[in-house]
Chains A and B, each alone.
Chain A
Amino acid sequence: MELNINGIRQEVDIEADTPLLWALRDTLGMTGTKYGCGVAQCGACTVLVDGQPTRSCVTTVDTVVGTQITTIEAITDDPVGRKVVEAWVVNQVPQCGYCQSGQVMAATALLKETPQPTDDGIAAAMVNLCRCGTYNAIAAAVRDAAQA
């Protein structure tokens, strides 16, 4: 199967029902995308598939052939992604940081779709779990990124 990840075509020899997460982490060695729960509860594995935030732990590779997949490894290649990362740094968002790849991807997807989201819009889009409780900092950073 051929996957288009961060603009690069990658051949993977794995079962069609393998979750994209494990194709990224084990087959391709791209460990920026995290495994948290495996059942689409936490969002640590969020990547963009054709711009849509997608939980890669429950997305099988056969369903993303022919799509454009974007992962955290390429986040600063995107102008919106760069703004989000800068806002994350300014707001000192991460604590343990384990969920933050997914948070940054979710925020980037939101701001690419809706450059000036309302607070309700932010709340509706930023639903990934953070056990460190960085939620207030995340919301502040998304607001900042929207202003940047």
Chain B
Amino acid sequence: MNQIHTDVPGNAASHDKPFNISRRGFLGTVAGALVLGVAVPGAIRPALAQAAAAAAAPGTRVPAFIEIRPDSTVFFRSAFIEGGQGIFTAMAQIVGEELDVDPANFVVEAAPPGPDYGLIGGYRFTGGSFSVRSSYDLMRKLGASARGMLLQAAAERLSVPVAELSTEPGRVMHAASGRSLAYGEIAEAAARLPVPETVTLREPKDFRWIGKPVERLDIRAKSTGKTQYAIDTKVENMLYAAVQHSPRLGGEPGSLANEAEVKVRKGVHSVHRLPGAVAVVADSWWRARMAVEALQVTWTEPAAGTAHAMPADFSSAGHMEKLKATTGDGVVFEEQGDAAAALSSAAKVVEATYDAPHLVHGQLEPPSAVARWNEDGTLELWIPNQAPEMFQGDAAKVADIAPEKVIIHSPMLGGFFGRHFLYQSANPYPQAILLAKAIGRPIKLVWSREEEFLRDTLRPMGVVRFRAGLDQDGNPTAVSAVAVGEGATGRWFGRQPDKVDSSAVEGIAGKIYAIPNKRIAQIHVDDPAIIGFWRSVGHSMNDFFSETFFDEMADAGRKDPYELRLELLKDSARHHTLLQAVAELSGGWKRGPFAAEDGTRRARGLAMASPFGSEVATIAEVSLSDGQVVVHDVWVAIDPGSIVNPRVIEHQVNSAVALGVSSALLEEVVYIDGLPQARNYDGYPILTPDMMPRVHVRIIESGAPIGGIGEPGLPGVPPAIANAVAVLATERPRSLPLSKTTFEEKKA
């Protein structure tokens, strides 16, 4: 319903205000649906959106985002994909604030591909903790513009000047006559009006929903099993597919010894060879899976020169040794003063090497893809993704059709953490496209958890060598760091050989402490694994390295790590305040060791990080139990400048802490002979409920430019834990995960 065929606007609209296609007479109505904005059949949406690109700047065309329904509820198309971070609710809060509609009356879906949604410098992706900060101003203006159109329509209907009108949530009010109109009653008329030349935004002091702990829109459906993830997609006449991948990337299926037997298994439709995999199509996924796993496949060796083929001799331990053995000064990324000179004249030099392993994303929803070729030549895909246009472009190449013929549906993500970017060898949709084409029916392809462990992209492996110089009073005068490895950004978006990929050094570079001489550099070493973005990317390990080394420096100079940080931040009010806030939140800084009420001996560690435009200070309290680390409490003070939803922030910080604890304590991908040793959670433990610490959050709105929320809570967690462990243990943690080490407690 509410679907309207429409042509593309033919002339350019203003780029600085929302563009209403209806003013040029393209809006129509059907079946009594009076809409502000249009819903067009999926098949022509991409073409419409692309043609509209010439007409409106991203984020300004009201109908691309907002549709007011006859019952005055708002259907909103979000440029960003929801995967638990609360972005749909944030969009409803931001737009609803200016439109004057209670966020509870929004229905939000991920928008289809189209240039209207390229809100991040013309591009569109859900990541980098960019969603709110990249769209906040635009989405407020969009909501205000739509409200302005409703006011104008009401003025005409009531024959009164606009100036006499006001709005209450969902209604236009005429106080003088006591009359009012629901938005739904005037949506159609509003859609025929010009977009206001200027809009007035609400004063932040008058916000009703922005900045408030508004309930999330997706909670009840998720609490009752009603949410549809990609893996839950059903389309008429579809068959199910399961795959078996080449154990090493780059291998191709050779002979299938028992293909004839497998083909006649109950429910099996067909057996297929795909690039790097074999597939079985059947009438249920279980039958497809049992059949494909029964296939006896001889895999070829990767052809010479195959890009990113997994070497037969690749081992995690071997690659770690290689990184550690790679010496040199590297390519400079950040430099201040003369670190070499300061180090050579230092009273004391501290040196340490740190490392962190490959990690999987481990999101609970296994990857899937539903592919359907339509009679009109379009290809329709339901796929978990963080970047619809990028997937559309790649799918078009696989399908050998024009991108506008690929219709992308982006369902709710069952966790992502960086998993669902365009990583060709890690995405199931190319296989689904080929299978659907081959059998002439829609396909639902699901990767088993075991196949997911084989093909997920990994957080890069990292090694960093640090040197610090201290003066005679123990104050740091120089820090020099060389990171060895490869960054995910360079892998997927192109690396310049003479430049450092910032994702390889973020969290080592960009530190906030007033240390006069710094040199942060990198040596690129290809990572043999298919690497990807993992929640908080480089920061997820680099802040562990740099903040743990900070405490080593402090200890070497006989300084308390909290006091030393305060001293080195004395000229930065924002950071000074933040650090004091986390100390206060935890009841005052105390490093320990101290005895807890339950008799355990505990200590606290501290870390600071500056990820994704926000500032974070973290304290963790730990004890040791049989040499293993137990995390009891984590206190996080976060300053994202300004906020949209404090409750969502608290929950996102909880989530980031969980992943931070999990990665610090437990997680490690181990390859031997080119094969990952874990193929499910039984071999790759992730944080369990009994290991979850209490989490205490303080939000500080410093008024600085708005920063990210989804990732920033994570980077401080591993170093805060490690710094606490260093207080208790005879050995300082320099290698993750901590569960590899049985720590011995220092004598009291």
Residues of A within 8 A of B (CB): 14-15, 18-19, 22, 25-27, 29, 31-39, 41-42, 44, 71-73, 75-76, 85, 88-89, 92-101, 104, 123, 126-139
Knowing A96-B364, A98-B364, A133-B657, say if A41 contacts B689 (CB, 8 Å): no
Residues on the A chain within 8 Å of B216, using CB = 92
Q: Is the CB of A34 within 8 A of B364?
A: yes
Nearest residue (CB) in B for A126 is: B689
The answer, among B218, B366, B689, B690, for a CB contact under 8 Å with A94, is B218
Nearest residue (CB) in A for B661 is: A133
Give B544-560 as 1s and 0s: 1 = Cβ < 8 Å from A's Cβ atoms: 00000000000000000
| Bound form: Cα–Cα A128–B689 in Å | 8
Q: Is the CB of A136 within 8 A of B692?
A: yes
Q: Is the CB of A95 within 8 A of B284?
A: no
Q: Is the CB of A89 within 8 A of B232?
A: no
**Given known contacts A41-B681, A71-B225, what 10 new A-B pairs fall within 8 Å (CB)?**
A18-B284, A19-B286, A22-B284, A72-B224, A85-B220, A123-B689, A133-B656, A133-B659, A134-B654, A136-B654
- Asked if B311 lies at the interface with its beta carbon under 8 angstroms from chain A, I say no
| Bound form: Cα–Cα A101–B652 in Å | 20
| Bound form: Cα–Cα A36–B415 in Å | 11
Q: Is the CB of B224 within 8 A of A75?
A: yes
Knowing A37-B449, A131-B686, say if A97 contacts B227 (CB, 8 Å): yes
Q: Is the CB of A97 within 8 A of B412?
A: yes
- Asked if B429 lies at the interface with its beta carbon under 8 angstroms from chain A, I say no
Least distance between B648 CB and chain A CB atoms (Å): 8
Q: Is the CB of B680 within 8 A of A38?
A: yes
Could you list 27 examples of A-B contacts with CB < 8 Å?
Answer: A14-B284, A18-B286, A25-B285, A26-B285, A27-B284, A34-B365, A36-B366, A42-B364, A75-B225, A92-B219, A95-B84, A95-B655, A96-B412, A96-B415, A98-B365, A98-B414, A104-B223, A104-B225, A130-B658, A131-B363, A131-B686, A132-B655, A133-B655, A133-B692, A135-B689, A137-B654, A139-B689
Knowing A129-B686, A129-B688, A133-B658, say if A31 contacts B446 (CB, 8 Å): no
- Asked if B354 lies at the interface with its beta carbon under 8 angstroms from chain A, I say no
| Bound form: Cα–Cα A127–B681 in Å | 14
Least distance between A142 CB and chain B CB atoms (Å): 11
| Bound form: Cα–Cα A82–B647 in Å | 23
- Asked if B626 lies at the interface with its beta carbon under 8 angstroms from chain A, I say no
The answer, among B215, B446, B658, B690, for a CB contact under 8 Å with A123, is B690
Residues on the B chain within 8 Å of A29, using CB = 234
- Asked if B226 lies at the interface with its beta carbon under 8 angstroms from chain A, I say yes
Nearest residue (CB) in A for B658 is: A133
The answer, among B85, B226, B364, B416, for a CB contact under 8 Å with A36, is B364
How many residue-residue contacts, CB under 8 A, span A and B?
169
| Bound form: Cα–Cα A82–B681 in Å | 31
Residues on the B chain within 8 Å of A34, using CB = 229, 231, 364-365, 414
- Asked if B362 lies at the interface with its beta carbon under 8 angstroms from chain A, I say yes
Q: Is the CB of A39 within 8 A of B449?
A: yes
Q: Is the CB of A96 within 8 A of B83?
A: yes
**Contacting residues of chain B (83-106) with chain A, CB-CB under 8 angstroms:** 83-86
Least distance between B543 CB and chain A CB atoms (Å): 18
Knowing A18-B286, A123-B690, A131-B362, say if A94 contacts B225 (CB, 8 Å): no
Residues on the B chain within 8 Å of A75, using CB = 224-225
| Bound form: Cα–Cα A15–B3 in Å | 43
Residues on the A chain within 8 Å of B162, using CB = none
Nearest residue (CB) in B for A19 is: B286
**Contacting residues of chain B (431-473) with chain A, CB-CB under 8 angstroms:** 446, 448-450
Residues on the A chain within 8 Å of B83, using CB = 96
Nearest residue (CB) in A for B365 is: A98
Least distance between A136 CB and chain B CB atoms (Å): 6
Q: Is the CB of B655 within 8 A of A26?
A: no
The answer, among B223, B365, B681, B686, for a CB contact under 8 Å with A85, is B223
Least distance between B117 CB and chain A CB atoms (Å): 21
The 4 A-B pairs of least Cβ separation, nearest first, read A133-B658, A32-B225, A97-B222, A98-B414
The answer, among A38, A92, A136, for a CB contact under 8 Å with B448, is A38
Q: Is the CB of B231 within 8 A of A35?
A: yes
Q: Is the CB of A96 within 8 A of B681?
A: no
Which of B215, B228, B363, B414 has the most C-beta atoms of chain A within 10 angstroms of its own C-beta?
A: B414
Q: Is the CB of A136 within 8 A of B694?
A: yes
Which of B219, B364, B655, B688 has the most C-beta atoms of chain A within 10 angstroms of its own C-beta?
A: B364
Q: Is the CB of A37 within 8 A of B414?
A: no
Residues on the B chain within 8 Å of A31, using CB = 228, 231-232, 234
| Bound form: Cα–Cα A88–B6 in Å | 42
- Asked if B382 lies at the interface with its beta carbon under 8 angstroms from chain A, I say no
| Bound form: Cα–Cα A89–B218 in Å | 10
| Bound form: Cα–Cα A71–B446 in Å | 22
The answer, among A27, A33, A95, A101, for a CB contact under 8 Å with B85, is A95
Nearest residue (CB) in A for B266 is: A15
Nearest residue (CB) in B for A33 is: B225
Knowing A33-B225, A97-B227, A101-B225, say if A129 contacts B647 (CB, 8 Å): no
| Bound form: Cα–Cα A14–B86 in Å | 40
Knowing A15-B266, A41-B680, say if A127 contacts B688 (CB, 8 Å): yes
Q: Is the CB of B285 within 8 A of A96?
A: no
| Bound form: Cα–Cα A123–B692 in Å | 11
Q: Is the CB of A135 within 8 A of B658?
A: yes
Q: Is the CB of A98 within 8 A of B415?
A: yes
Q: Is the CB of A94 within 8 A of B681?
A: no
Which of A19, A72, A94 has the most C-beta atoms of chain B within 10 angstroms of its own C-beta?
A: A94
Which of B224, B232, B682 has the most C-beta atoms of chain A within 10 angstroms of its own C-beta?
A: B224
Least distance between A92 CB and chain B CB atoms (Å): 6
Q: Is the CB of A135 within 8 A of B222?
A: no
Q: Is the CB of A93 within 8 A of B223?
A: yes
The answer, among A15, A88, A96, A100, for a CB contact under 8 Å with B413, is A96
The answer, among A44, A97, A138, for a CB contact under 8 Å with B689, is A138
Nearest residue (CB) in A for B647 is: A92
The answer, among A18, A26, A76, for a CB contact under 8 Å with B224, is A76
Nearest residue (CB) in A for B657 is: A133
